[in-house]
Structure 1
């Protein structure tokens, strides 16, 4: 019998917005914990905005895993792709946004040789070469 593999479940994450950010332009939406002594949010009254807590987190065994079961590894230079040579079953490459087209092409060719999956292989690549 095959070993039980933990199914990847990504929990639904709420957008935790700062209290009264919808009422005042000067209050940004980014979450800040309410600290007031009479705050209904801090005291967790029924019907009020929910606060972030540890229960919203993903399972430790599947945290940061992609839907294909691999982990993303960012490639910033052609030398970084060599790090994944022995770990191509566990990690998938993600090309950094500041790479040039020529460098991207070299990295993708090397990834195909060593069997590393590149998740954003078509990003910023010309569809046809111009001579």
Structure 2
């Protein structure tokens, strides 16, 4: 997987609390140093920060996430490229049953139950 991307902060985010919560916005001021890409100022997102096309849509572990709601979906997973993500709609009992089955099949589980 690629290196982590930097957090792209909004200009003057440290001065106003409401700007910390909002995402990045392109600086548009005439004298704005970040707009002119001055060294030491805020980083701006650009095409170079993008992931490789082979890595797009993957979990940081390197696997594709597959949402599992029932046992049929669990059995259909390819253990080489896909990892299990249990649905939040599953109860404690079903989740632990599916977790045991996933361990048996040798699958990677991204959100194991608490008691596992």
TM-score above 0.5, yes or no: yes
Q: Secondary structure at the match of 1:28?
A: helix
TM-score (norm 1): 0.67
Give the alignment of 1:45-84 within 5 angstroms.
45-63=38-56, 64=58, 66-67=60-61, 69-75=62-68, 77-78=69-70, 79-84=72-77
Q: Alignment partner for residue 34 of structure 1, among 21, 27, 37?
A: 27
Give the alignment of 1:1-131 within 5 angstroms.
9-29=1-21, 30-63=23-56, 64=58, 66-67=60-61, 69-75=62-68, 77-78=69-70, 79-84=72-77, 87-121=78-112, 123-125=113-115
List structure 1 segments (4+ residues) > 3 angstroms apart after TM superposition.
112-115
CA drift of 1:113 comes to: 4.7
CA contact (8 A) 1:11 1:58 kept: no
Structure 2: runs of 5+ lacking an equivalent = none
Over the residues paired in the alignment, what is the CA RMSD in angstroms? Answer: 2.5
CA drift of 1:60 comes to: 2.1
